[in-house]
Amino acid sequence: MKISFILMILFAAAPHVFAQTMMNSFTENFNGTGTPSNFRFGTNRNSIQDTWTSGIASEIEPDTRVMRLAMHPDNEAEPWQGPNFESTRLTRFGRYSARIKIPGVEDQPLVGGVVGFFTYYNDEYNNELPKDENGNGLNDNSEIDFEWLIANPQLVYMTAWTDHDVSTGICRKVARIVNLATGQILTTNYVNGRLGSSGVQLTGVENQPETIRSIPEFDASKNFYTYGFDWRTDNIRWWILNPENELDTIVLWDYRENPANEERRITQKPAFLLFNFWHTNNWAAEGVRNSTQRPNRIFHAEFDWVRYETLAAIDNTTSITRENITPSKTAKIVDASIMNRQLNLSFPSSANAAKIALYDIRGRLLFERDITVMTNFASIALPKSVVRNQMVILQIKADDFNFAQRLPVKR
């Protein structure tokens, strides 16, 4: 149900002089208060005041600094009326992930709101690349979506587009909707026609997995969850990390091209990475009829971090879990432990300054900080995103030694 996203209006003041430069891997942790370095902001709302705040404490995790997006009562419907962040350069193939919490709607259960984490490029609004590269007469629409309609926080919407003529509504896309609280797959379909039509149900390699595990009591508004999709030439894989064990990836949809299809259904065209929050007045959440009301108060969506990793980066066999740390000429030992949300470190007496980083077992950055060691001992408070893991990898880089070690997390 996307998108007449007017990037040419949102970002008209920022011409794309970087058209041929692709984005490198990056992570935005939103610890600072300014505009994140890898994104630019846009909105068509009359006032940009209070549309976004970076570096603010999360409403449910006070020790976690987040990017908070706001949907206001005066927001008109459609994506460009809400806050939108777009990457400063194009991306293509790789892993896209984010840790997100959507707003609760207990006091307005029929509100119409959409939180999005997605890639996007449309020939009608963008001019960095040749038009209609797949030669089917439609405007290319390179888009891969994770979306949440906030009126039903148990559902996750996933879509991959190749074409969309915004002016006529004709599109080509595959889509799946899942209820993560029950494990039910509501639909997996292909649309080749007018936006909003039901399309045809997919089978075989385009409908995998055919069943998914539920996450008991899943509610995207009650907790942060880590979502991601891996975009390859012939495969898009949407996933979520199991909140009870982040070493466990739950695959929501492993979409693969069917060689029998007349046209490719996975976009090959580069796209920008975006995240946004907007009011809809014509797209009701599945299972919640008429959930298209204008918001009667300010609603907030929170992003703990957003990450893009190139295909080369995720396919590299060397990861933090197997990294060869070159020892210093003199052996250095660091005693380390994590207990009660504190990282406790005992340093060599010669250490002065060091960079501390914690990764999950998959090699994803969870926490980093530069510290000055005034004594041999340091204790650092950790966010909940770290202590949710059963095991993490600690890496320390100092002037005269490097150190890496797996650490159990004791709560």
Give residue 361's pLDDT band: very low, low, confident or very high (50, 70, 90): low
pTM of the entire structure?
0.76
Higher pLDDT, 29 or 21: 29
Question: Does 385 score more than 80 pLDDT?
Answer: no
Give residue 397's pLDDT band: very low, low, confident or very high (50, 70, 90): confident
Cα-based distances in Å from 198 to 53, 190, 201, 302? 38, 8, 9, 32
Cα-based distances in Å from 52 to 74, 118, 143, 196, 365? 15, 18, 24, 30, 24
Question: Does 6 score more than 50 pLDDT?
Answer: no
Tokens encoding 260: 């029998």
Q: Which domains does the chain have, with CATH numbers?
A: 7-315 (2.60.120.200), 335-410 (2.60.40.1220)
User: Do residues 149 and 178 touch, judged by C-beta distance below 8 A?
Assistant: no
Q: What does the pLDDT read at residue 212? A: 96
pLDDT digit string (tens) for 46-76?
Answer: 777 789 999 999 999 998 999 999 999 998 9
pLDDT digit string (tens) for 307-359?
Answer: 999 988 877 533 333 333 333 333 346 788 888 888 988 876 655 678 888 88
Of 411, 401, 410, 409, nearest in space to 334 by CA: 401
Q: What does the pLDDT read at residue 290? A: 97
Higher pLDDT, 383 or 15: 383
Summarize the confidence of residues 112-116 as an average pLDDT. 98
pLDDT digit string (tens) for 132-152?
Answer: 999 999 999 999 999 999 999
The rounded percent of the chain whose pLDDT value lies above 90 is: 64
Higher pLDDT, 367 or 326: 367
Q: Which residues have CB under 8 Å from 220's CB, separation 6+?
A: 100, 101, 102, 148, 153, 154, 156, 180
pLDDT digit string (tens) for 253-272?
Answer: 999 999 899 899 999 999 99
